[in-house]
Amino acid sequence: MRSPLQDFLSRRRSGVSTGIYSVCSAHPWVIRAAAEQVAEAHSLLLVEATSNQVNQFGGYTGMRPAGFRDFVLGYAAAAGLETRSLILGGDHLGPNPWRTMPADEAMKHAQDMIAEYVQAGFTKIHLDASMSCAGDPPQLSDEVVAQRAAQLCRAAENAGTPGGGPVYVIGTEVPVPGGAMHSVQELDVTSIEAAEYTLAVHKRVFEEQGLAEVWPRVIALVVQPGVEFDHDSVVAYDRAKAKPLVDWLRVQREEFVFEAHSTDYQLPNAYAELVEDGFAILKVGPALTFAMREALCALEDIESQLIAENQQSFLTRTIEKIMLREPANWKPYYQGTPAEQKLLRLYSYSDRIRYYWHLPEIDEAVDRLIANLSAVTIPESMYSRYLPLQYARLRNKEIEGDPVSLIVDGIRDVLRVYAAGCNQVAPL
């Protein structure tokens, strides 16, 4: 069966400037927002899980691939999406979760994981064997990376149905997952030479390992377009800097597109430019939970004025307490004085809070906030101050006024910008 992503590429080759954004999150409200956005736009929903989030041992979400599939399918069905409109992807699938083990052992786990992804119906697979394992040199050669990627591809092919294998993404020249750990001002775009060599070595190794017939299903190459974000700034896309790489793609490699990671927080015009320039798969992750946190904080401000103090959720206070008590997911990333770290815990673009929403005390505080505001009438004029975009949609009767619908719509504000850049809705 032909992948919808292959049809998408065919439209691009016919001259239609279209792209697709990839939702990289496991938060229920983010998945709901993405499903509702796609249902309204009559487009495709691409949701991806990473090897750390979802694997055969549960990952940090506690879900194996089939469980994540069912989780996403539930929200897709609730939004009225047909199953064929949903594409599930696996991002950075490789030995990363087991990189402290010797390479043979880590790769065995990675192959088992990728087989589970394919068996569960994931049809877009990013092969990423770039990380060093125990006993490896600090930097792996392109040859070794390609050899290991081919091993992973073979495991995926063996797990699939005949004639219905997934499509693949190769390449690993990406920003640090979740944003940079230090201040960034500008980045080098991937060179033509690096892109050419990555493709050449992978194609050769695939052919040597009997995977030549799979190569036409390698649809995208991950490159660095020169976009990034750190804790409090964003490196904007500069299409002039990317022009040599873009021209090379147009002239030499029309069968591929580029996949761009860490595209969060770009200005709206950047997404249209990225898509026009061949960066047709745009990854978005932290910006979605960042928007969710903003909406929750706005609602907490409303709560503080409408609910008796002894009944309030104290959500941000609870978040701070739990993050201080369990610092492993933020402390390696947030430097500075205690006061500076406190600001980063709540406001950093890297949004390390996203690793804490599932913890019971924070989850209970969110539930209390939602319950408190569901039990009172929020004056319309308060929405105007704290949630102005949702205020306008409420006035126009475009959304419901319950707290969760307001939060989901806030997340959709991020997705609306991506959808416009990808030509999946009318321009904003």
90-142 pLDDT per residue, tens = 999 999 999 999 999 999 999 999 999 999 999 999 999 999 999 999 999 99
The answer on 323 and 361 residing in a single domain is yes
- For residue 383, being part of any structural domain is answered with yes
The answer on 185 and 257 residing in a single domain is yes
- For residue 425, being part of any structural domain is answered with no
- For residue 368, being part of any structural domain is answered with yes
Count Cβ neighbours within 10 Å for each residue of 56-79 and write b for 16 or more, e otherwise. beebebebbbeebbebbbebbeeb
Q: Give pTM, 2 decimals.
A: 0.94
Q: Which of 284, 310, 341 is the last residue of a domain?
A: 284
**CATH value at residue 324:** 1.10.400.20
Judge whether residue 427 has pLDDT over 70: no
The answer on 208 and 166 residing in a single domain is yes
pLDDT band at 332 (very low <50, low <70, confident <90, very high): very high
- Structure token digits, residue 5: 């992503």
**CATH value at residue 127:** 3.20.20.70
- For residue 417, being part of any structural domain is answered with no
Residues with Cβ within 8 Å of residue 332, at least 6 apart in sequence: 181
- Structure token digits, residue 137: 């040199």
The answer on 317 and 278 residing in a single domain is no
The answer on 324 and 250 residing in a single domain is no
- For residue 365, being part of any structural domain is answered with yes
pLDDT value for 142: 94
The answer on 35 and 50 residing in a single domain is yes
The answer on 318 and 221 residing in a single domain is no
The answer on 60 and 190 residing in a single domain is yes
Domain limits at 350? 290-410
- For residue 325, being part of any structural domain is answered with yes
- For residue 21, being part of any structural domain is answered with yes
pLDDT digits (tens, 9 = 90+) for 384-403: 999 999 999 999 999 999 99
The answer on 178 and 69 residing in a single domain is yes
Residues with Cβ within 8 Å of residue 23, at least 6 apart in sequence: 30, 31, 34, 45, 46, 47, 48, 284, 285, 288, 415
Q: How many domains does the chain divide into?
A: 2
Instruction: Count CB atoms within 10 A of the CB of residue 363.
Output: 13
- For residue 415, being part of any structural domain is answered with no
E strand or H helix that includes residue 286: helix 286-306
The answer on 176 and 86 residing in a single domain is yes
The answer on 363 and 385 residing in a single domain is yes
The answer on 297 and 216 residing in a single domain is no
Radius of gyration of the chain (CA): 22
